[in-house]
Amino acid sequence: MEEANVLERKGKFGPGGGKIYVTRTSMPPFEEYMEMIKPLWDSHFLTNMGTYHRRLEKELEAYLEVSKASLMVNGHTALELALQSFDFPKGGEVITTPYTFISTTHAIVRNGLTPVFCDIKDDFTLDEEKIEDLVTEKTVAILPVHVYGNICNVERIEEIAYKFGLKVIYDAAHAFGEKYQGHGVGRFGDLSVFSFHATKVYSTVEGGCVCCRNQNQYDVLYNLRNFGIRSEELVVSVGSNAKMNEFQAAMGLCNLKHIDGCMEERKEVMEAYYEYLEGCSGIRMNHYHSDVKPNYAYFPVLFDSREVRDGIYAMLREHDIFPRKYFYPITADAACFRNKYRGVSLEKARDFSNRILVLPLYDELAKEDVRYICRLILNKGHNTGK
């Protein structure tokens, strides 16, 4: 009888006619955004570092607790230009993780650099104790990724980078608004890169930014995102077009007003998952370190085997619930690399990739939907005794 009641709730609470996706974009009230963009019809100033663009940079610098934030059209371009800003020699090696979205690896390759893959730890982040063995005379940088909101061992990575004279560029796409030991995570490394894609905790529809420590680095990034143009008649360097437009910036300003409340609601959803799945045999959930203030971006679950994971994945989709095998396969095993890295020992990354499933999590996900998802998983064969 209880299960029947859960099934009846599905259509009522799942957005989009009962379908529940892995994430759902947080948006400000419609009227608030309309009021924000109304002046654009008067000014017709839609891009080229306009009023909203400049204002959002300043507000993000304050919110993220960073010296400078350079806004970009999207997170991937931000990562590409972050690497490009150091003018590394072609063929230089970048030590990085294969347990990430393919964008991280592509940004390295598209800069003419060579990714050198390092295995991960139990918290899904780069295993810092394996980094030194991968350093060669060609190594120019370390590119770690904060995964699912778990923060890398920034102290140890900094020690290694200092020892070998390497740059550190963090892919912080999963870590917007997080703090480590009371400090905004964007402060770590030589650069930290955030994504503001619609699937992220904080969104400007598309967008991203590179956080840096000083004006000189900001100026380099400015030139790269704006063709090297400094005035109507002065082009000082070769650059790209990676500017964020005013509509994106306006969305970012609106969403920034609501981000703390959004993360609190996501926390409540995550706690509901813990309530139903904690202690379940055959399931391992992610738990944040005590010194991290999380943003509750994702809810990853490790199952006992790939077969179990794939069965749960297929079953949930049959019930209009759409989790993601995030990340599967690891980037080192992507088809575009044609088995180039198959011989690289990445045991834990490959194991986790085969067993991972990210369950739906967003601020408007109803607790009844969380219960429904969990009951489906438990009825598939996992038993908590609850």
* pLDDT level of residue 384 (50, 70, 90 thresholds): very low
Q: In what order do the strands lie in the sheet with 208-212?
A: 68-72, 208-212, 191-195, 167-171, 139-143, 93-96, 114-117
**Taking residues 362-376, what's their average pLDDT?**
96
Strand partners, 114: 93
Residue 324 has pLDDT above 70, yes or no: yes
Q: What is the pLDDT of residue 2?
A: 35
CA distance 179 to 50: 30
C-alpha dist (Å) from residue 369 to 9, 20, 299, 365: 8, 8, 14, 7
Residues 125-179 pLDDT 10s = 999 999 999 999 999 999 999 999 999 999 999 999 999 999 999 999 999 999 9
Structure-token pair, residue 258: 């609501």
Q: What is the pLDDT of residue 10?
A: 46
- Least confident range from 2-6, 311-315, 374-378: namely 2-6
* pLDDT level of residue 380 (50, 70, 90 thresholds): confident
Q: What is the pLDDT of residue 18?
A: 83
Q: What is the pLDDT of residue 17?
A: 54
Residue 83 has pLDDT above 80, yes or no: yes
Residues 40-62 pLDDT 10s = 999 999 999 999 999 999 999 99
Provide the H-helix boundaries in the chain. Answer: 2-13, 30-43, 51-64, 75-84, 102-109, 154-164, 215-225, 246-277, 306-318, 347-355, 367-379
Residue 6 has pLDDT above 50, yes or no: no
Residue 15 has pLDDT above 70, yes or no: no
Whose CA is closest to 298, among 157, 124, 96, 179? 124
Residues 206-236 pLDDT 10s = 999 999 999 999 999 999 999 999 999 999 9
CA distance 154 to 258: 29
Q: What is the pLDDT of residue 334?
A: 98
CA distance 89 to 113: 8
Residue 348 has pLDDT above 90, yes or no: yes
Give the whole-number percent of the chain exceeding pLDDT 90. Answer: 94
Q: Is the dihedral of CA 204, 207, 212, 217 positive or negative?
A: negative
Residues 237-294 pLDDT 10s = 999 999 999 999 999 999 999 999 999 999 999 999 999 999 999 999 999 999 999 9
Domains of the chain: 2-24+259-379 (3.90.1150.10), 30-253 (3.40.640.10)
Whose CA is closest to 173, among 142, 151, 141? 151
* pLDDT level of residue 383 (50, 70, 90 thresholds): very low
Taking each helix axis from N to C end, the angle separating 30-43 and 246-277, rounded to the nearest 10 degrees, works out to 160
Q: What is the pLDDT of residue 381?
A: 58
Mean pLDDT of the chain, nearest integer: 94
